[in-house]
A = this chain, B = another copy of it.
Amino acid sequence: MEKKRVYIAGLGLIGASLALGIRRDHPEVEILGYNRSEESRRIALERGMVDRATADFAAWAPLADVIILAVPIQQTIDFIRELAGLDLKENVLISDAGSTKAEIVAAAEDFLQARPVRFVGAHPMAGSHKTGAASADVNIFENAYYIFTPSSLTKPGTTEELQDLLSGLHARFIEIDAAEHDRVTSQVSHFPHILASSLMEQAAAYSQEHALTQSFAAGGFRDMTRIAESEPGMWTSILLTNPEPILERLEDFKEHLDRVADALRSKDQDRIWNFFEEGRRVRKQMEIHKRAGVDSFYDIFINVPDEEDAILGILELLRGTSVVNIRINEENREDINGILQITFKNREDLEKSAKIVRENTDYQVFLDE
């Protein structure tokens, strides 16, 4: 029996990390790679991510049993169109990694419908602040959602075959309709990016007339604008391939703002209080506070002085305990960011650690409630 051959088109962060993930559980698979850039091909070859690499996408597609398109959204659509004209292996399995799904799935259904291929759209919700093959890391998929969006080109067993191939990612596989994927991500990701960049744009304009705007920007503002530093090209493509759900969320959001403005204009203390209280209540219930499969975090909060080694001192005390998450920011203490937050895997470690810190330091220690 011949080796299974997987062709990964695009050896950026996602493509190269996928290659590493496939290698982990399936060392027997032969991995071919495509990338325009010679540098990326060289890195992928040198690090053994791929067995062979090409700059000619079309030339090698006919060799593959599985083709994964890990290129920007528009190029994904272009490659799907190109695949329709190639003499692919019978029953080849094609997938992608685009952040929006409806346009990509529609392109597949348009161009590949008459072809003897299988296709399932996919969105691995993983990333890093660095890009490129050099940044590849199989860990970026750990516990992340890997979303499949089946369509008429997805045959029985298609997603299962991909899940088996990708088992080494240790991702959370899930299936959802492509249009629904785009609606949900417009709410929790695409539109929030517009909010963040708009707030940044607004504050930048305001600071022209109000010099202390930047100085007084504290933890809340910092957190709300962090994603405004994302890569503009990728987010432009996301907006352009998911306009209706995003515009719908944007117009809906203006109505939410109008309701707050009405309450404020009419000095309606109860409505304003309920608005804030509801936000707090719902967020505390969200999965945001949960870890995969674990109902709640076990957190302690420690007020640490702004001194060298204060953090290290505490972590030294906790050596050997199951710290799973740690977070501090000392820049400005307008809000909870001024505090060292340490998350443990279980209550036993939490309580043991709180006791240790209390006995060995004079810092304030709080348990999460």
Contact = CB atoms under 8 A, between A and B. Distances in A.
A267 B240 contact: yes
A307 to B, nearest CB: 9
Given A195-B195, A282-B200, A308-B322, A232 B277 contact: yes
For the residues of A in contact with B, the DSSP-based class is: helix
Given A125-B334, A139-B304, A187-B210, A261 B250 contact: yes
A236 interface: yes
B201 A189 contact: no
A127 B333 contact: yes
Contact of A226 (B129, B215, B223): B223
B288 A229 contact: no
A325 B324 contact: no
Contacts of A265: 243, 247
A59 to B, nearest CB: 30
Contacts of A233: 273
- Of listed A170, A227, A235, A247, residue having the most chain B CB within 10 A: A227
A327 B327 contact: yes
A236 B276 contact: yes
A218 interface: yes
Interface stretch (A65-73, A89-97, A111-119, A141-149): A141-149
A357 interface: no
Contacts of A29: none
A339 interface: yes
**Interface residue range, chain A:** 35 or more
Interface string A328-340: 1111111110110
A232 B142 contact: no
A306 interface: yes
Contacts of A144: 332-334
Contacts of A83: none
Given A279-B196, A315-B312, A335-B129, A222 B288 contact: yes
B309 A198 contact: no
A166 B333 CA distance: 17
A364 B62 CA distance: 34
A272 interface: yes
Contacts of A157: none
